[in-house]
Amino acid sequence: MHSSRAFLTRYAWLSIAAALATIGLKSTAYWLTGSVGLLSDALESFVNLAGAVIALGMLSLAARPPDADHAYGHDKAEYFSSGVEGSLILLAAASIAVAAIRRFFFPVELEQLGLGLGISLAASVINLGIALTLQRAGRRYESVTLEANAQHLLTDVWTSAGVLLAVGLVALTGVHALDPLIALLVAANITRAGIGIVRRSALGLMDTALPPAEVDQVQAIMKRYTGEGIGYHALRTRQAGARRFVTLHVLVPGDWSVHRGHQLLEQIEAEIRAALPNASVLTHLESREDSSSWEDVGLDRDGG
């Protein structure tokens, strides 16, 4: 499973190429117009580049197979990538806000707006195409890194749309205060996206449970067995990148043979894996008649 995900790095290379192209275009647009809004757009493209480079490294690491030091694989590396990218977005938002506030006090006449807007629009079209590609790949292959990168680029697209609107309004109305005002709104929008990405990464690193709908699928599978003198408890789930982990204890009559119990567990594990892609399932067999079985539900079992 892990080695087959190495191909995801090609999407990171695609994102790097897009970032380099948009940096050149947006920097040229800022140089031509002097718009702080277009400057904010260019700065965010540098963040896009940094995020894409980090994504490349973390996707490469996450694709490595389990080893002696990482028996459960390297999937969580993707959360580091999305977390760092979210932090970079927040830094970019702060930089944009500072530049916008400064421009309120020291306004600058905007020039060559038509050409600047045209160049920035071309950069936005590039970002939109790459963002949609990464979004589809992220959802298809359950990559939080690609999804975070796609969300960042889509934020960039909406940001660019706001900037283009602001610069256009300046050209029509001559009210130059609109430029830094829109830049501040851009900073607020970027901050919101950055916080969302950082929060998702933190939840992944904290072994957050699978979504309720997926937990319900596991419970529905186990419910089919409860009428046959079989019970279960201590169901726990977590997700690391695209990998899902499910553990539970299965209680059976004490007079069952080891072979019969093992066959049941194999069947249950197979059904859960079929319902949840990329699931690693661990079951523990216990006797219904043993009182300690009913007490063995905590994460840390009492050794007394």
- Phi, psi angles (nearest 5°) of residue 109: -70, 130
Check: CB of residue 89 under 8 Å from CB of residue 47.
yes
Domains in the chain, ordered, with CATH?
3-205 (1.20.1510.10), 212-295 (3.30.70.1350)
Predicted structure pTM score: 0.65
Nearest residue to 237 via CA among 213, 209, 269: 209
What would the DSSP string read from start to end of 97-141?
HHHHHHHHHS------HHHHHHHHHHHHHHHHHHHHHHHHHHHHT
pLDDT on residue 46: 80
- Digitized pLDDT (tens) for each residue of the chain, 304 residues in all: 444 677 888 988 998 998 888 888 878 877 777 766 667 667 767 877 888 888 888 888 877 887 787 877 777 788 887 788 788 778 878 877 887 788 777 776 655 556 666 777 788 888 899 999 998 988 888 788 888 888 778 877 877 777 777 777 777 787 777 777 877 887 888 788 788 888 888 877 777 888 899 999 999 999 988 876 788 998 999 887 778 899 999 999 988 999 999 999 999 999 999 999 888 899 999 888 877 777 766 666 665 4
pLDDT on residue 130: 92
Taking the C-alpha atoms of residue 99 and residue 107, their distance in angstroms, rounded to an integer, is: 11
pLDDT on residue 246: 94
Cα pseudo-dihedral 97, 99, 103, 109, rounded to 10: -120
Taking the C-alpha atoms of residue 269 and residue 118, their distance in angstroms, rounded to an integer, is: 57
pLDDT on residue 268: 93
Structure tokens that stand for 214 in this block:
């997926």
